[in-house]
Chain A
């Protein structure tokens, strides 16, 4: 059994959120850290999926992920 694409993206974003929140005790620094990590390591396709979920107000995200969204680079429309 494999987690479906959307659930996996949500889980991965939440995992990063958990670390960033604990690293800096929450707040703006955590959101920026989360965004920087995703910008550095997530391929545009993954970021596109992330934004599709965030824009559709998908359930299951840690609040910090939504907080970080404005700092995450939106991928160009097509590769």
Chain B
């Protein structure tokens, strides 16, 4: 960390120009060459000259309001603002003349005359651009008397000053202090241009101009503000300030690292004082986020130091006993003895692991290695099983690689975005902001989702087509789109002939052209009007760059893999592969889902997606690991649970995943866990799964370790330790200690990794697509998109450029098969599930932050028609039941869902939406069918019997004995 040098972090004043045409001019006598369209301010900054400024910052377009950045240009009249004046060839610019000095001082004098001079006690002291500019322009005197001000609560006569407004402290994470505002509009512009929410505005005119959130009687919390922090980041004064800075003070050091929430993989500057984290600031050179953030990554990191964190290893003989805190050594010996005993009694295949999609690549690699090299079986899986495993299968079959095709920058060049079964507004907010920015510039959006999500419409954008399909009919919709493209001859024949297998295309074309796939034929199934479907297909096929972004609404179905194949077919048909602005882009749920898949977490494949049946692949690892590898595929998570219930699977090491809450059919998961003899949970908190555990290894947060996460763009992002692990060990050290305890008992050679960089070196040495990756190279380049090897030493931003990874793109038939899960008289409604912006996954992290201000409980969205026929009013408790189980929660009546469809989130264990979901799964991968469950809804008085007994069991299971002296 200490030897890591921060790249150039200066504010260049205005955004960079993309022009390829270069212009040379002279600034203060120095020649400068910059792209056409660059501002004089930025050109000066390139030459190392900082022109004084207040309203300009390089994250938003120039505005030209503060009048501080004035310059003189030879041969031109007046003193233009350097932020809004573009460069031109041969200009001679002067940034510091007698006239300019005088003008700037005059401007600053006016600003300062209406500003409280409480700098010493101000939260921005030392981090205030107004203070800096007063110094920069040599302000020594303020001649104006402060009579009418915005900062004095009382006027000279002692009466109330109507211009003074109290601080707005409603947002849990930052404050708005109007008395310190200089009305530079940077916050308003950040909210519009970067985030796209348009929650802020300048109300009033002239002296009455004020920054305002929402409508007249709104506060920041009640307004549309999504708390992304862009305004706080943009504010040059203490007007918008993080509460953590107010409480702690300004940070003194910073470390670049990667957010541990969603699959966007934003890079952040963790700013600290000592080992206390002061704030997380989005890193402007982060290639996924380009300086933007959301409420989770920016603010919701308090869970890392939450009092619920368990800091001592714990064990117990039986799950109805309280936990006993023990030393690491005792916990390791206890766990290793139990696992060995199980294998001795029930066979080598009777135990397994679940790797975490939240931990680092290095940690994940070690956990799957634990299964393969220490347990000596392939019983390893990861939570990608329950989210994006169909992506791996579908894209692997059609294109030859299990990953998205583009980088996020690509969205800036798309003309039509198709968003299928994803709600980036909530699940991938920083990507959503980038997409919305493109939509405001005129790109079109096709939304395919049963719900009218936040992506349907918003400030200055609206989906051109919303195909509000019935849950479970994805394949019918995707096939109907392909039917239109094929029968109306909208396909790109040149692309197909040169890049795909022509015979397979012809077979596919014949299949898909059948009238049973036409929009008219499937309309009764899908509920999508045929005309709308045809128009959407024509738009996607005919408008330049078409990019598909999809999420778990595609994969988490009985036909999840078939839909992924259908999506891949659509992109091949229209030639939307292999250039910027197009592609097939799975939006990964968790921070390291991509990485955990890459690292060989799946039971059938070793790192780099190579099947365990291949002897040449096994040989690579057998040589490095010194053990023989089982050639048979291991159990997937649902198979492990089934085997546990049947009695042949008895021990599980589960790292950083809460399967009891996140996996479907909770009662089945609970029965499986209860049937095991040794469940080891390795986590920050006593999560729901830990209620059934015998061993608890305390985990370390992403702030406490080194490693890498791989995001949805295949981007390997460095994670850097910013503070010491609170429980003493990084997670990879715990896994290594556990492996070594087992190896020692067996008399086998132990592992000796001293740093995660050594684990990455082993990954690079054994996995062709990671061959060029090392911590040194990551430090140098900032991040790397795999494949990274001799052919692409700096990584691969875009896949399938010259040809598909598998050679020729392969069209595969996609027949729609109705799921067995369908509504009937007992369960007449279809439940589908999703996420909300402020919460993340099972909520273990976000529920332990102030984000609960936005979403304190899961609610059931129900259409007014369905609510009325059941006598349900908004806010009522309702009972939600399926053939799997029942729970209760509050109803929210909304027409965001269609009649016949209800929706909820799964962030809160008290609701436990997964007690409702069933054991149906994707045909190819066993990815559970979370997105379709037949349910009934009825008024209720309170918690279900299941909820009460669950809570009793949880309370009992969470007891911890006081530590022995």
State whether the Cβ of B562 lies closer than 8 Å to any Cβ in chain A. yes
23 A-B pairs (CB sep. < 8 Å): A1-B883, A2-B665, A2-B668, A5-B645, A8-B919, A12-B926, A15-B923, A18-B817, A19-B561, A19-B817, A19-B923, A19-B924, A22-B813, A22-B814, A39-B613, A40-B611, A40-B613, A41-B636, A41-B924, A41-B925, A45-B643, A45-B648, A46-B635
B642 touches A5 (CB 8 A): yes
User: Closest Cβ of chain B: how far from A72's Cβ, in Å?
Assistant: 13
Q: How far is the CA of A16 from the CA of B636 in the complex (A)?
A: 16
Residues of A near B603 (CB, < 8 A) are 43
Residues of A near B646 (CB, < 8 A) are 5
User: Closest Cβ of chain A: how far from B188's Cβ, in Å?
Assistant: 53
State whether the Cβ of B413 lies closer than 8 Å to any Cβ in chain A. no
Residues of B near A5 (CB, < 8 A) are 642, 645-646
Residues of B near A43 (CB, < 8 A) are 349, 378-379, 603, 632-636, 639
A40 touches B923 (CB 8 A): no
Q: How far is the CA of A48 from the CA of B175 in the complex (A)?
A: 63
State whether the Cβ of B604 lies closer than 8 Å to any Cβ in chain A. yes
State whether the Cβ of B940 lies closer than 8 Å to any Cβ in chain A. no
The contact size tier of chain A is 20 to 34
Given contacts A15-B558, A43-B635, A44-B632, is CB(A2)–CB(B813) below 8 Å? no
Q: How far is the CA of A8 from the CA of B928 in the complex (A)?
A: 13
Closest to A37 in B: B924
User: Closest Cβ of chain B: how far from A51's Cβ, in Å?
Assistant: 15
B813 touches A8 (CB 8 A): no
User: Closest Cβ of chain A: how far from B75's Cβ, in Å?
Assistant: 72
Residues of A near B762 (CB, < 8 A) are none
State whether the Cβ of B347 lies closer than 8 Å to any Cβ in chain A. yes
Interface of B is mostly: loop
Among A3, A16, A18, A40, contact of B633 (Cβ-Cβ < 8 Å): A40
State whether the Cβ of B36 lies closer than 8 Å to any Cβ in chain A. no
Given contacts A1-B884, A23-B813, is CB(A41)–CB(B923) below 8 Å? no
Count of chain B residues near A, Cβ 8 A: 42
Q: How far is the CA of A46 from the CA of B813 in the complex (A)?
A: 27
Interface of A is mostly: helix
By a beta-carbon cutoff of 8 Å, the part of chain B in contact with chain A is: 347-349, 377-379, 558, 561-562, 603-604, 611, 613, 632-636, 639, 642-643, 645-646, 648, 665, 667-668, 671, 812-815, 817, 820, 883-884, 919, 921, 923-926
Residues of A near B639 (CB, < 8 A) are 43, 45-46
B632 touches A18 (CB 8 A): no
Task: State the total of A-B contacts with C-beta under 8 angstroms.
Answer: 76
Q: How far is the CA of A51 from the CA of B347 in the complex (A)?
A: 21
Q: How far is the CA of A23 from the CA of B611 in the complex (A)?
A: 23
Residues of B near A12 (CB, < 8 A) are 921, 923, 926
Residues of A near B611 (CB, < 8 A) are 40
State whether the Cβ of A56 lies closer than 8 Å to any Cβ in chain B. no
Residues of A near B632 (CB, < 8 A) are 43-44, 75
Q: How far is the CA of A75 from the CA of B604 in the complex (A)?
A: 15
Interface string of A1-28 (1 = CB under 8 A from B): 1110100100110011011001110000
Of residues 34 through 65 on chain A, the ones whose CB sits less than 8 Å from some CB of chain B are 37, 39-46
Residues of A near B924 (CB, < 8 A) are 16, 19, 37, 41
Q: How far is the CA of A15 from the CA of B883 in the complex (A)?
A: 21
Given contacts A40-B611, A75-B632, A78-B347, is CB(A19)–CB(B562) below 8 Å? yes
Q: How far is the CA of A39 from the CA of B558 in the complex (A)?
A: 20
User: Closest Cβ of chain A: how far from B506's Cβ, in Å?
Assistant: 13
Given contacts A12-B923, A16-B923, A23-B812, is CB(A2)–CB(B349) below 8 Å? no
B347 touches A3 (CB 8 A): no
Closest to A16 in B: B923
User: Closest Cβ of chain B: how far from A9's Cβ, in Å?
Assistant: 9
User: Closest Cβ of chain A: how far from B389's Cβ, in Å?
Assistant: 10
Closest to A39 in B: B613
Closest to A2 in B: B668
Q: How far is the CA of A37 from the CA of B884 in the complex (A)?
A: 29
Residues of A near B643 (CB, < 8 A) are 45
B633 touches A2 (CB 8 A): no
B919 touches A3 (CB 8 A): yes
Closest to B885 in A: A1
Residues of A near B814 (CB, < 8 A) are 22
Most buried by A among B558, B813, B815, B923: B923
Residues of B near A40 (CB, < 8 A) are 604, 611, 613, 633
User: Closest Cβ of chain B: how far from A40's Cβ, in Å?
Assistant: 6
Q: How far is the CA of A43 from the CA of B630 in the complex (A)?
A: 11
B667 touches A45 (CB 8 A): no
Q: How far is the CA of A69 from the CA of B923 in the complex (A)?
A: 18
Closest to A24 in B: B813
User: Closest Cβ of chain A: how far from B478's Cβ, in Å?
Assistant: 14
Closest to B883 in A: A1
Q: How far is the CA of A42 from the CA of B613 in the complex (A)?
A: 12
Residues of B near A19 (CB, < 8 A) are 561-562, 815, 817, 923-924
Given contacts A22-B815, A41-B633, A43-B639, is CB(A2)–CB(B667) below 8 Å? yes
User: Closest Cβ of chain B: how far from A10's Cβ, in Å?
Assistant: 12
Query: 6 closest A-B pairs (Cβ-Cβ)?
Result: A22-B815, A15-B923, A79-B349, A2-B668, A43-B635, A79-B347
Closest to B649 in A: A45
Residues of B near A46 (CB, < 8 A) are 635, 639
Q: How far is the CA of A50 from the CA of B315 in the complex (A)?
A: 38
Residues of A near B613 (CB, < 8 A) are 39-40
Q: How far is the CA of A23 from the CA of B559 in the complex (A)?
A: 13
Residues of A near B926 (CB, < 8 A) are 12
User: Closest Cβ of chain B: how far from A31's Cβ, in Å?
Assistant: 16
User: Closest Cβ of chain A: how far from B778's Cβ, in Å?
Assistant: 33
User: Closest Cβ of chain B: how far from A16's Cβ, in Å?
Assistant: 5
Residues of B near A1 (CB, < 8 A) are 883-884
User: Closest Cβ of chain A: how far from B812's Cβ, in Å?
Assistant: 6
User: Closest Cβ of chain B: how far from A42's Cβ, in Å?
Assistant: 7
Residues of B near A23 (CB, < 8 A) are 812-813, 815
Q: How far is the CA of A22 from the CA of B562 in the complex (A)?
A: 11
Q: How far is the CA of A3 from the CA of B820 in the complex (A)?
A: 12
